[in-house]
Structure 1
Amino acid sequence: MQDSLTTGTILPLGITFAPANTYICYGQLVPISEEQALYSLMGTNFGGDGRVNFGMPDLRGRAAVGTGQGAGLDNYYLGERAGSPIQKLSVDNMPTHNHTATMAVTGASADVSVDSTLYVKGGQGNSSTAEGNYLATATAGLSAVTNGYSNTADSNLNSGAISSLAQLGNLQIQGGVEVGDTGGSEAFSIQNPVQAVTYVILAGGLYPQRP
């Protein structure tokens, strides 16, 4: 089978070892002197110093992705590594949202004053009925006002007879607004479902000819 495959071909296998003329893709370094044909194709794209050794691809826990840049996608060059199986959310990539704020009042004080004015007529009145009128100077003597009051009420004085003004000043409230913290800052998995196999790279085989 190897004679029909190109040197540098990567294959997934359902076994735990690398067959002859292959290397498991574990990112290990291989002496250039032992695999000159493979090195001439791969170079140091997957590691190594390019003088004594060169690196194999490392597909442990990684998925292979095509090189180049697809429409609307990132650009990848040969041997590049990217991505992480876990991620932590930060303020920059969280959706815009609100938190409930609670104000805790620890003290309050204020100055309150109430001014009331009873309006009366400063001269003689012209009615003997209290309802709808103001207090005034009586037009007759003491006998004219006998039984002028009652211990029960069945009518109201004129709505403008008494005017009251309440003022609230120097209001002071002590306290603070608290926004509670939540969350544990734990990283979470963003890995797709996977099943592990053994990836090997072919060192022997047909040497590819450039078109």
Structure 2
Amino acid sequence: MDFYLGTIFPFAGSFAPVNTQQCLGQAVNTQQYQALWAVTAGAFGGGQSSPTFNLPDLRGRVMVGTGSSPYTSTTLNPGNSGGTQFTTINGSNLPAHTHAASFQSGSVPFNATVTVPLNPAVGTSNSPSAIPAVLGGQLLTEPGLGVTLDGPFIPASSLPTPPTGSSLTGALSTQGTVSGGPTGASIAVSAGGGATGPTPLNNLQPYQSLFFFIFMLGYFPSRD
């Protein structure tokens, strides 16, 4: 069969048709295939000054048209190749975005430890005094502290006089409340923020592999 030399075609057979070679990117002799070199002009490697030139390499590749692409703003010349089978996503590929967040009010239990200084003077009463009990500038009976004074109380002069500078330390268990109405907010994530997985993504579309051959001999195409 005769075709224009340089024609590439897929073939479902398991052998090379006459006057063809498989497109494996291999080097062929320039003098032996001068007409084919004149057609390809060494676009795939090698040239007239070299003893060899290369055929197209279509192993695991798809063919695309040459010229300026209106879709990618890329100019492709004969013999150009590109693309990658796997792509790893990194932080710079992540766009800026925001997440809404809401917060609710509620009660929070907590424990407090207090230290009460002791006066070395002897007690004179079995009942709490009408004078307010003050600790750290706040009334011990202040409702916000959650503390109340209740008997029974130690009778007057029933204990020895404590040394000057003594104090009474104990644990006070109470419950406080963190109050506030429900509210909302937006958390902004800048471009490039976040983490990505280490596994590369496979870029291959569904495919079916065939042999691709090029005519090494045949009709020399006339220029249009």
Normalised by the size of structure 2, how large is the TM-score? 0.55
Is residue 2:38 matched to residue 1:40?
yes
Cα deviation for residue 19 of structure 1 reads 1.4
Q: Would you say 1:188 and 2:210 are equivalent positions?
A: no
Deviation at 1:183, TM superposition (A): 5.1
Structure 2 CA distance for aligned equivalents of residues 114 and 31 of structure 1 = 100
Amino acid in structure 2 at the alignment position of 1:185: P
User: Within 5 A, what are the aligned runs for 1:33-182?
Assistant: 33-50=31-48, 51-73=50-72, 74-96=74-96, 114-116=136-138
Question: CA contact under 8 A between 2:19 and 2:215: conserved in structure 1?
Answer: yes
SS of the residue corresponding to residue 7 of structure 1 reads coil
Q: The residue matched to 1:200 in structure 2 has which SS?
A: strand
Would you say the 8 A contact 1:31–1:52 is kept in 2? Answer: yes
Bigger drift between 181-190 and 42-51 goes to: 181-190
In structure 1, C-alpha distance between the alignment counterparts of 2:75 and 2:195, rounded to whole Å: 37
The answer on whether the counterparts of 1:25 and 1:57 sit within 8 Å (CA) in structure 2 is yes
Matched, 1:209 2:193: no
Q: CA RMSD in A?
A: 2.9
Equivalent pair of 1:17/1:24 in contact (CA under 8 Å): no
Larger radius of gyration: 1
Q: Whole-Å Cα distance in 2 between the matches of residues 92 and 17 of structure 1?
A: 47
SS at match of 2:213: strand
Does 2:39 match 1:17? no
| CA positional deviation for 1:95 | 3.1
Give the letter for the 2:218 counterpart.
G
Q: Percent identity?
A: 33
Aligned-partner Cα distance in 2 for 1:185–1:36: 49
- In the superposition, the TM-score normalised over structure 1's length comes to 0.58
Counterpart Cα distance in 2 of 1:19 and 1:82: 29
Whole-Å Cα distance in 1 between the matches of residues 57 and 204 of structure 2?
A: 17
Paired amino acid for 1:35: Y
Aligned length: 137
The Cα shift of 1:188 comes to 1.6
Letter in 1 for 2:137: D
